[in-house]
Structure 1
Amino acid sequence: MSPHDEPKADDLVVISPAKAFTCSDCGTTEAGLLRLEDDAPHCLECVDLDHLVFLPAGNTALTRRARKASTLSAVVIRWSRARKRYEREGVLVESPALELAEEQCLADEDLRARQRERAREKRAVEDVDFQRRMAGEIVRLFPGCDADRAEAIAEHAGTRSSGRVGRSAAGRALEENAVTLAVVASIRHLDTSYDELLMAGVPRAEARERIRAQVDEVLDQWRRPR
């Protein structure tokens, strides 16, 4: 066990045996959990731990809360042949304590879910505001661009976590070059034969060179007021 997993001095320790044992108190042979007292194995019933329920290791918050709420608890360990040491398997706690801990953890999950939803809503509002400002900047730089087209470009380029130019640092600052790149990308895909060239196997750099004049023509038109 790691230092973090090792039982504390005042912990009750229960062993998950690799094979059946005979209880030194009642003489019953079983393969369940045992507790050593005076170096002799005892079944849980004989040591008054049989009313506890097993909680496997893995959920730190649940284990911490269950042990805190449980008047009586025990650490369960098992010998690892591979590591040549005892390792923690979980804990034994009172059933009501486990139920309370589960309720508390579920409440935390609900809280985190609500926080994530509020964060998502906040990001959505931020996206809408950013896209609105970006559309306005597109129309300012390219007054000949239709307002609906400007909105479509801004929505596409300004989506959070999209990796598109509108979400770059320059894009968020609405720098002219970044906004222009977003406009060019839209023109390239919607107003030229660029996509068809790519589908035909034309290398991207060559395809862009072929449609450069078309892009420049549209840009010139959009730079002039309607």
Structure 2
Amino acid sequence: MSRRNNEPLSDRVARVAEALLADQHYVSVADLFCGLGWLDASLLEQWRRGQVGSLEEVTRSGLLRIREAMTHVRAWALAKGLSPSETAYVAQTPRRQPLRFSRSNDPQLEELFRTHWVSPALSEKKRERVAAKASRAPELVAIVPARDGWSCHRCGGTGDVLMMEDGGPACLSCVGLGDLVFLPAGNALLSRRAKAKSKRHAVVVRFSRTRGRYERQGLLVEPGVLAELGQDTA
């Protein structure tokens, strides 16, 4: 029998939480579940993109075990003197709809999931920055499809890139981003400037079969921004 199977859940939670706290100065339930081996990072990303109904659905543990882990992390955090900080989670979609953690959408359970535990060693300003970063809405992600022939679930059209919604893939026009133009990756300074100036933007990614992950291809930004930066949008 492995050490993991013999180790009490409370000890496993404390060990993973200590590592997270040392690395990022706060502990979240989603990160904890990844560290426990209950949640794959790829499934977490799908949930953040609004492609999964609730995080509970893709967590490899039952609700009783999930509740037990959250009880342990709360007790550990209070014993360490960590500060609770409730964090907003919204999807990587143009609608920015709130993400659900539990199948039941129980308010008390949702609050436990959203709570981050922040290091007391940080100054007040640093705690505010950590909380603001954790609460920041994730960037929109547009996907270069692996093959041609996909259809928008809203209008039946297609395109060079798509965005995933609950109903399936959607074209940029239907999600309200059809006027954006593509800025290829390669010039980090230009990309940063364009993103900072563009009120609407999305990261463009393509799935690499050889590496088994999505890789950044560039940005979709407002055409006026590129003109302002002296870039040809033709």
TM (norm. structure 1) is: 0.40
Higher relative contact order (CA 8 A, sep 6+): 2
